[in-house]
């Protein structure tokens, strides 16, 4: 496997183990034990800082929540190329929908976000003397963390920190879980500050807009947790919440890939609602070939996307090129990006560095990388065996058969939303974005009998895509896929639109149509620790 990726993976794992050892929370909050005699925190503000650092770490990696949200869908897969990325099937079973209750990423995600919930509850305890801002932050992070658990597992263990540690956490499902989450969000909205659009690193903390965004997201998905159809009152509130976000100055902005740069380098943007200073390396290098760039020693040659996902975009299905000036020449829309014929001359632009007169890493295109790749000087790159470095639509083994394993180094279209030209570990990962809020409002209109076509086309025109004649559920789901790839929404979207169980390349045939996969299993160890938990159907 990849040397650099191994280092990062084990450093991440070591940090999780270290946190467990230091705080005694990673396991204990989910196996129903906390410190005896909790009497409040000595410093609620520093614990809020810890919560935001946890969010940073949880959204930095390519494992855990990112893997559950993207690799279990049609948007991402990691084939085995030679001996790379085999990992005893750890990645393959996610895309195949063949995971079990002992899968590492399923367990880690459960532990991570339940730990957030417990820490936030300790901040909110009156004995911790939290300030109004502490209450806003902790309420928001508890709601976010509980919602992640509800959305992925369907049941949320909830501990009242005022009760004895021998008391097993109650388990909230359906309306009971939603009541706590929505009450927390209302409390967050009341206590968080109003943060202006374009305020850069300030948005690494939640403001009222982030809490309203999350409340809209919860209400949009509410019928999934309760059964039945979307409620018209909930849809009206989604629309109202997005309108309030708009009134704070957040808006759609042209220049798609500029939205994923460090906002202080890019001059800010009006779309970022909530972000984190997580490093972007995992989003950059997991798909690049070892020889794609010299930045940070090259890529890890793993993550790819399906050709059917790439084909959601306008443009030539076989070509995705840019000219020397960065203009798209194969009819592709802006969000599909393109492959440049070489590097960009170095001008000292913010966030860039010089490599022989070129912006280092600028030979790597934005968006979807297919066919021949080029070095900074325009030389055609090769793989490690000396063959042309041409990323391909197909996943084939040495015999030419379509296969998930035994691929060569060049199979699969690669995805590049963040880019090495701005540094391998640039601290900026977007979590909530206005275009998602815009599309949530369009969806709420559709689900309450309105016509979202004009709203969707407003976005498409800004993204330099052809307006659609009409928009129904199919078109809206596809537009969300085009706009929000790699932003951890694909699984959530597919479940809500009833498409998570459909067939796609390499999904096990026995799992097609299996609605039990809409939820992940409760980790086996947690069922033993807390008998109030009940394993989800199908596991």
Spatial separation of the C-alpha atoms in residues 358 and 353, rounded to whole Å: 8
| Angle, alpha carbons 220-438-249 (nearest 5°) | 120
**268 confidence band (pLDDT: 50, 70, 90):** confident
2 & 139 share domain? yes
* 93 or 28, greater pLDDT: 93
Q: What would the mean pLDDT of 404-409 be, rounded to a whole number?
A: 96
Query: Does residue 3 register a pLDDT over 60?
Result: no
- Rounded to the nearest 5 percent, the helix, strand and coil shares of the chain are 45, 10, 45
Determine phi and psi for 251, rounding to 5 degrees.
-160, 160
Spatial separation of the C-alpha atoms in residues 140 and 130, rounded to whole Å: 14
Question: Residue 233 is encoded by which pair of tokens?
Answer: 């009152």
Query: Does residue 172 register a pLDDT over 90?
Result: yes
Percentage of the chain modeled with pLDDT above 70: 93
38 & 136 share domain? yes
Measuring CA to CA, how many Å separate 108 from each of 61, 69, 78, 495?
A: 12, 14, 19, 22
Query: Does residue 146 register a pLDDT over 50?
Result: yes
Q: How far is CA 201 from the centre of its chain?
A: 19
**24 confidence band (pLDDT: 50, 70, 90):** very low
Spatial separation of the C-alpha atoms in residues 274 and 59, rounded to whole Å: 12
493-513 pLDDT, tens digit each: 999 999 999 999 999 999 999
Spatial separation of the C-alpha atoms in residues 537 and 155, rounded to whole Å: 12
| Bridge partner list, 272 | 433
Question: What is the residue-averaged pLDDT of the chain?
Answer: 92
Please report whether residue 235 resides in a domain. no
Query: Does residue 248 register a pLDDT over 80?
Result: yes
Spatial separation of the C-alpha atoms in residues 372 and 391, rounded to whole Å: 7
Looking at residue 526, which CATH number applies to its domain? 1.25.40.390
Please report whether residue 211 resides in a domain. no
Please report whether residue 397 resides in a domain. yes
DSSP 277: E
Please report whether residue 299 resides in a domain. yes
182 & 285 share domain? no
Which residue's entry shows tokens 């959601």?
A: 312
**36 confidence band (pLDDT: 50, 70, 90):** low
Last residue of a domain, one of 423, 455, 481: 423
Query: Does residue 34 register a pLDDT over 50?
Result: no
Please report whether residue 32 resides in a domain. yes
User: Can you give the pLDDT at residue 23?
Assistant: 37
437 neighbors 273 (Cβ within 8 angstroms): yes
165 & 306 share domain? no
Residue 150: CB atoms within 10 A of its CB come to 24
Helix (H) or strand (E) holding 369: strand 366-369
**426 confidence band (pLDDT: 50, 70, 90):** confident
Spatial separation of the C-alpha atoms in residues 96 and 439, rounded to whole Å: 29
Last residue of a domain, one of 374, 393, 423: 423
Query: Does residue 484 register a pLDDT over 60?
Result: yes
Query: Does residue 162 register a pLDDT over 50?
Result: yes
Query: Does residue 29 register a pLDDT over 70?
Result: no
Measuring CA to CA, how many Å separate 12 from each of 155, 464, 513?
A: 27, 39, 35
Please report whether residue 197 resides in a domain. no
109-119 pLDDT, tens digit each: 999 999 999 99
Last residue of a domain, one of 399, 423, 447: 423
| Bridge partner list, 172 | 156
Query: Does residue 246 register a pLDDT over 80?
Result: yes
Number of domains in the chain: 2
* 164 or 478, greater pLDDT: 478
**Spatial CA neighbour of 238 closest among 378, 445, 399, 382:** 445
Contacts of 46 (CB under 8 A, 6+ apart): none
Please report whether residue 274 resides in a domain. no
Domain that holds residue 27: 1-192+512-539
CA dihedral over 47, 52, 55, 60, signed as positive or negative? negative
Percentage of the chain modeled with pLDDT above 90: 88
Question: Residue 501 is encoded by which pair of tokens?
Answer: 């169980």
SS3 of residue 7 by DSSP: helix
User: Can you give the pLDDT at residue 441?
Assistant: 98
Please report whether residue 243 resides in a domain. no
User: Can you give the pLDDT at residue 267?
Assistant: 80
283-293 pLDDT, tens digit each: 999 999 999 99
Q: What would the mean pLDDT of 98-109 be, rounded to a whole number?
A: 98
DSSP 407: B
Q: What is the pTM of this model?
A: 0.92
Q: What would the mean pLDDT of 457-486 be, rounded to a whole number?
A: 98
Beta strands at 390-391 and 358-359: parallel, antiparallel or unpaired: unpaired
Determine phi and psi for 358, rounding to 5 degrees.
-115, 155
232-243 pLDDT, tens digit each: 999 999 999 999
375-401 pLDDT, tens digit each: 999 999 999 999 999 999 999 999 999
Determine phi and psi for 321, rounding to 5 degrees.
-105, 155
User: Can you give the pLDDT at residue 39?
Assistant: 87
User: Can you give the pLDDT at residue 89?
Assistant: 95
Spatial separation of the C-alpha atoms in residues 389 and 372, rounded to whole Å: 6
Residue 239: CB atoms within 10 A of its CB come to 19
- E-assigned strands of 409-448? 414-416, 427-433
17 & 128 share domain? yes
Query: Does residue 140 register a pLDDT over 90?
Result: yes
* Greatest pairwise CA separation for the chain in angstroms: 67
User: Can you give the pLDDT at residue 263?
Assistant: 81
471 neighbors 452 (Cβ within 8 angstroms): yes
424 neighbors 295 (Cβ within 8 angstroms): yes
Spatial separation of the C-alpha atoms in residues 203 and 189, rounded to whole Å: 15
């Amino acid at each position: 496997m990849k040397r650099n990726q191994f280092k990062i993976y084990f450093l991440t794992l070591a940090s999780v183990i270290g946190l467990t050892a230091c705080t005694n929370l990673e396991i204990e909050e989910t196996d129903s034990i906390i410190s005896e005699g909790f009497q409040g925190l000595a410093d609620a503000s520093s614990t809020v800082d810890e919560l935001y650092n946890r969010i940073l770490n949880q959204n930095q990696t390519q494992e855990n929540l990112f893997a559950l949200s993207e690799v279990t869908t049609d948007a991402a897969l990691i084939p085995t190329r030679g001996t790379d990325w085999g990992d005893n099937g750890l990645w393959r079973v996610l895309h195949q929908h063949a995971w079990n209750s002992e899968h590492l990423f399923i367990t880690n995600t459960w532990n991570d976000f339940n730990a957030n919930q417990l820490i936030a509850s300790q901040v909110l305890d009156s004995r911790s003397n939290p300030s109004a801002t502490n209450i806003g932050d902790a309420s928001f992070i508890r709601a976010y963390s509980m919602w992640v658990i509800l959305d992925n597992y369907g049941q949320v263990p909830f501990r009242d920190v005022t009760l004895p540690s021998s008391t097993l956490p109650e388990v909230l499902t359906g309306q009971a879980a939603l009541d706590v989450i929505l009450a927390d969000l209302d409390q967050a909205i009341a206590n968080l500050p109003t943060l202006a659009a374009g305020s850069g690193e300030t948005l690494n903390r939640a403001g009222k807009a982030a809490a309203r965004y999350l409340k809209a997201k919860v209400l949009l998905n509410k019928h999934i947790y309760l059964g039945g159809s979307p409620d018209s009152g909930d849809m009206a509130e989604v629309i109202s919440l997005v309108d309030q976000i708009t009134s704070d100055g957040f808006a759609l902005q042209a220049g798609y890939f500029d939205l994923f740069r460090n906002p202080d380098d890019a001059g800010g943007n009006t779309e970022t609602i909530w972000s984190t200073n997580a490093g972007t390396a995992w989003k950059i290098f997991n798909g690049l070939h070892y020889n794609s760039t010299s930045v940070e020693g090259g890529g890890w040659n793993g993550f790819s996307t399906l050709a059917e996902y790439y084909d959601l975009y306008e443009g030539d299905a076989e070509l995705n090129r840019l000219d020397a000036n960065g203009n798209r020449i194969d009819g592709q829309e802006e969000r599909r990006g393109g492959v440049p014929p070489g590097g960009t001359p170095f001008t000292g632009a913010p966030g860039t560095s010089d490599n022989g007169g070129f912006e280092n890493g600028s030979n790597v295109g934005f968006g979807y990388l297919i066919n021949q790749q080029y070095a900074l000087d325009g030389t055609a790159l090769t793989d490690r065996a000396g063959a042309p470095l041409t990323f391909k639509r197909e996943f084939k083994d040495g015999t030419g058969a379509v296969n998930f394993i035994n691929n060569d180094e060049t199979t699969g279209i690669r995805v590049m939303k963040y880019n090495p030209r701005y540094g391998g570990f640039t601290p900026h990962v977007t979590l909530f974005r206005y275009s998602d809020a815009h599309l949530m409002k369009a969806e709420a209109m559709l689900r309450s009998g309105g016509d979202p076509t004009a709203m969707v086309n407003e976005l498409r025109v800004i993204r330099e895509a052809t307006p659609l004649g009409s928009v129904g559920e199919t078109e809206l789901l596809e537009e969300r896929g085009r706009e929000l790839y790699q932003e951890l929404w694909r699984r959530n979207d597919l479940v809500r639109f009833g498409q998570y169980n459909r067939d796609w390349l390499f999904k096990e045939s026995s799992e097609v149509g299996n609605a039990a996969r809409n939820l992940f299993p409760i980790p086996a160890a947690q069922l033993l620790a807390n008998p109030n938990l009940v394993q989800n159907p199908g596991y």
